Amino acid sequence: MLELDCVSRFYGHNLVFKDISCAFAGGGITLLLGHNGAGKSTLLRIMAGLTRPSSGTARFTAPSPKIGYLAHSTFIYPALTALENLRFWHQAHCLDKSHDLFKALERVNLTARAHDRAGTFSRGMAQRLNLARILLLEPDILLLDEPGAGLDTASQALLRKEMLDARIRGACIILVSHNIAHDAPLADRILLLEKGGLAYDGSPAFFSAPEVQACCA
Amino acid sequence: MLRMTLAVFRKDMTLTLLRGNGLAQALLLGLLLVFVFSLSQGIGENLSPRNAAAVFWLSSAFCQVLIFNQLYALEEVNNSRLGLLLVPQPLQAVWLGKALAGFVLLLLAQCVFAPATIVFLGQSLSGHPGPAASILLLTDAGMCALGSLLGALAQSQTARESLLGVVLFPLLTPLLLAGTGVCAQALGGASGEADAWIGVAAAFDAIFLAAGLLLFSFLYTGDE
């Protein structure tokens, strides 16, 4: 579904990572790990097409895949209500008119706040509204950049459930997280970015405890 | 593309007119310009129709800069720009939606500037209003096509207001000349050459529309 071929990225003269090559298929969750500054978010943005690689290519093998991108920024207009925000993204994506926006809000437990301005929402509620936006899209590729940051336990459980549903649907999910204990059990594959390259690419079963400790340190 | 254009247009109009991200600042700046120019007249003196028309278009141009700064700033609050970049539709829909929103907002502002120009600068509508209405729409269309393009360019810059002004005003000169020439006739100035000015405005509209369609996606995508 998504292929990276010798992708490198520099910021000025500073190397972030070099020659990253890997492919991602549908129906799996990949956990992307690394220290702060290792380039996880940059790599995710390259996958989403939001940042150009300095060299190499990132390409989709499926024709016109729908991409869902959930990051620190919520893409929400604070002066619009929750429902108006969803309606805007629904129209902008030219989605089928049969989509029930209230149902999407119901899935993230925001029905009662549908007509409240998003600017009055807490960080967690705003992120749930952002999740509702993603759910509307039913993305083929779901890119999640520390999506659990700022979410309470219930919202994290909701996010986890939606990730698992997306995997069953056949979506390719790539998750950046520092919460390894929480997210590693979900993953089918782990990528570790370290020292400007891909230090590990494989099953969580072979991702040994010392490496996990080193990564968490 | 049309659905996305209309979605951006509707969202921007809602945010600007109904949700407190209003036109007030842009309107006040334009009105202030008209008022300050009215102070340049002595008692019993009136500005010539051409000067009055120039003041009207100057107010419109400053107002337009603020309108497009604001329209593009809406996308920066929670980084919604990234969300727009991920929509699998031509990015020109964003340019067109914002240009349409800017066009309507500029027309609304001019509904205030026009009577203010007549009242404060001692003018009267003694000429033919038909060509003036045509040039108003044509000039506004060109100003908004260019404003929407350069608004996207300026948004990623630190000195966005000054950059937009510095780049925009020289490019707008032909349109402002056309607008001033024809509107001066509507205010009772010497008649003639209205058709030629309308032709000039239409030609620059076509150039700015083509530039917007071709260049917007490069400017708005950006890259760090």
Query: How does DSSP assign A62-108, residue by residue?
Result: SSS--EEEE-SS----TTSBHHHHHHHHHHHTT--TT--HHHHHHHT
Of B78, B87, B223, the CB nearest to A93: B87
HSE of A99, CA atoms in CB hemisphere, 13 A: 22
Contacts of A64 in chain B (CB under 8 A): 88
pLDDT at B57: 94
Query: What HEC string does A108-165 produce?
Result: CCCHHHCCCEHHHCCHHHHHHHHHHHHHHHCCCEEEEECCCCCCCHHHHHHHHHHHHH
What pLDDT does A113 receive?
93
List of chain B residues whose C-beta atoms are within 8 Å of the C-beta of residue A76:
78, 80
Summarize the confidence of residues A82-100 as an average pLDDT.
88
Residue A197 has pLDDT above 60, yes or no: yes
Q: Do A91 and B7 touch (CB under 8 A)?
A: yes
Instruction: Pick the residue from chain A with its C-alpha nearest to B20.
Output: A79
Q: Which domain holds residue A127?
A: 2-216
**Chain A contact for B13, CB < 8 A?**
no
User: ipTM score here?
Assistant: 0.85
Q: Which residues pair with A142 in a beta bridge?
A: A68, A173
Percentage of chain A beyond pLDDT 70 is 95
Confidence label for A13 from pLDDT (cuts 50, 70 and 90): confident
Q: What is the pLDDT of residue A12?
A: 83
Q: What is the pTM of this model?
A: 0.88
- Give chain A's domain count: 1
State how far the Cα of B67 lies from the Cα of B112, in Å rounded to an integer. 15
Q: Where are the domains of chain B?
A: 2-220
pLDDT band at B127, cuts 50/70/90? confident
B6: confidence class by pLDDT, cuts 50, 70, 90: very high
pLDDT value at residue B222? 65
Residue B103 reports pLDDT greater than 90: yes
* Chain A residues closer than 8 Å to B9 by CB: none
Whole-angstrom Cα distance, residue A105 to residue A100?
A: 9
Identify the three-state secondary structure at position B125: coil
Cross-strand partners of A14? A11
The pLDDT of residue A71: 86
B58 vs A1, more confident: B58
Q: How do residues B63-72 score in pLDDT, each as one tens digit?
A: 998 999 899 9
Average pLDDT taken over every residue of chain B: 87
Contact state of B20 with A79 under an 8 Å Cβ cutoff: yes
pLDDT at B205: 94
Q: Is the pLDDT of residue B224 over 80?
A: no
**pLDDT digits 0-9 by tens, B79-98:** 898 899 988 889 999 999 99
What percent of chain B clears pLDDT 70, i.e. is strictly above it? 93
Which letter does DSSP use for residue B14 in this model? Answer: I
Most confident of A58-62, A205-209, B52-56, B216-220: B52-56
| Tokens read off for B174 | 């032909």
pLDDT in tens, B148-157: 988 887 776 6
What's the pLDDT tens digit per position in B18-51?
Answer: 876 668 888 999 999 999 998 888 777 878 888 9
Q: Regarding beta strands A189-194 and A172-176, do their DSSP bridges make them parallel or antiparallel, or are they unpaired?
A: unpaired
In chain B, what percentage of residues exceed pLDDT 90?
Answer: 49
CATH number of the domain to which A139 belongs: 3.40.50.300
CB contact under 8 A, B83 and A79: no
Chain A partners within 8 Å of B3 (Cβ): 91-92, 94
Beta bridge partners of A143: A69, A174
pLDDT at residue B137, rounded to an integer: 94
Residues of A in contact with B21 (CB under 8 A): 79
- Which residue, among B8, B21, B77, B218, would best test binding to A if mutated, counting the most A CBs under 10 Å from its CB? B77
Smallest Cα–Cα separation from B100: which of B183, B197, B7? B7
CB proximity B84 to A under 8 Å: yes
CB-based contacts of B65, cutoff 8 Å, min separation 6: B147, B161, B164, B165, B168
- Report, as an integer, the average pLDDT of A140-146: 91
Q: What angle do CA A211, A214, A217 make, to 5 degrees?
A: 150
Give the tens place of pLDDT for each residue, B168-209: 888 999 999 999 988 888 887 777 788 888 999 999 999 999
- CB contact (8 A) between residue A80 and residue B80: no
Q: How many alpha carbons lie under 13 Å from residue B207 in its C-beta half-sphere?
A: 12
Give me the mean pLDDT over the A127-135 stretch: 90
